[in-house]
């Protein structure tokens, strides 16, 4: 609504944000859809298939050190979770954990 008021030249951005109780940061924010996301997803999928015993940490280190990805771990982890590449726990380890609790 604030964008409609501002685009109609009826009010300034500041006054429109105050009226609709929206911060100016939220008003000016533009979501950046990066082409890197699809590239990272492709790399992660390839790594998950080639290196089945690697978790997120090793996948991220491989991307950063070998492939030269300069982004942070949070964006890579978000993609990793969305693709549901989390490792399954091995049945033998799960059984040991249950026996240790008893």
pLDDT tens-digit series, residues 40-60: 889 999 988 898 888 889 999
**69-85 pLDDT tens trace:** 888 899 889 889 888 88
The pLDDT of residue 62 is: 92
98 or 66, which is more confident?
66
Domain ranges of the chain: 1-30, 35-101
- CA dist 49 and 5 (Å) reads 51
Q: E strand or H helix at 1, and its extent?
A: none
What is the per-residue pLDDT for 61?
A: 92
How far is Cα 72 from Cα 10, in angstroms, rounded to an integer?
A: 41
């Amino acid at each position: 609504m604030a964008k409609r008021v501002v685009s109609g030249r009826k009010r300034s951005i500041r006054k429109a944000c105050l009226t609709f109780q929206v911060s100016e940061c939220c008003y000016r924010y533009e979501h950046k859809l990066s082409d890197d996301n699809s590239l990272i997803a492709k790399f992660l999928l390839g790594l998950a298939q080639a290196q089945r015993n690697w978790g997120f940490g090793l996948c991220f280190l491989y991307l950063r050190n070998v492939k030269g990805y300069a982004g942070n771990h949070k964006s890579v982890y978000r993609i990793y979770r969305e693709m549901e590449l989390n490792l399954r726990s091995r049945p033998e380890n799960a059984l040991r954990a249950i026996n240790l609790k008893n």
